[in-house]
Amino acid sequence: MCAPHLLQFFDVTNKRGWIITILVLVVLLTTAAWLAKARSYAPEQPIAFSHQVHVTDYKIDCLYCHSYAPRSPFAGVPSVERCMGCHQVVAGDKPEVKKLKEYWDRSEPIPWNKVYVLPRFVRFNHEAHVRAAVGCQECHGAVESMTKIIKVNSLEMGWCLDCHNARHASVDCLVCHY
């Protein structure tokens, strides 16, 4: 009784049916597109920097560039100087590397868009996780095969707690909150 009753709204042989069908489709598609975007947040960057090229093709270690991770709360992003250490001699003719050189010439930092951001009331610490041998990939995914950083985790509290419980790490509120 109920199903056929509902279906009559989508009867495309009349005008009202058409309008309702199209409206429903538009809502569904917009929601799907929004969900897809929310799941794979990957902002445009000022320079098309590829982790795959640097990590997989040229075997550069994560910590060569994110050198603060084992000794501070932050992993850090490398300075223009660190990039130019190689790019003064490597691939200087490539358009994206020319952009890099322009920042260097103007002595300006590169305004990278952050992908992983916690609210300010949450305390996080890279050093503690490196010390406990939690791999970068457990939280950031297969960065070594990304040509562009994609956010692979929600960073919601439940996500932190699931792993803390599984690894017998502390779930005391004050570990993560000020």
* 44-103 residues near ligand HEC, rule: CB under 6 A: 45, 47-51, 53-55, 58, 60, 62, 64-66, 69, 74-78, 82-83, 85-87, 90-91, 94, 96-97, 100
Does 38 participate in binding ligand HEC (rule CB under 6 A)?
Answer: no
Closest distance of CB 21 from ligand HEC, Å: 37
Closest distance of CB 34 from ligand HEC, Å: 19
Nearer to ligand HEC, 8 or 145 (CB): 145
- Rounded Cα distance, 146 and 154, in Å: 18
Nearer to ligand HEC, 32 or 109 (CB): 109
CB 143 within 8 A of CB 56: no
Exposed e or buried b per residue across 1-18, where buried means at least 16 C-beta atoms within 10 angstroms of its C-beta: eeeeeeeeeeeeeeeeee
Closest distance of CB 67 from ligand HEC, Å: 9
Q: How many residues bind ligand HEC (CB under 6 A)?
A: 72
Closest distance of CB 107 from ligand HEC, Å: 15
Does 41 participate in binding ligand HEC (rule CB under 6 A)?
Answer: no
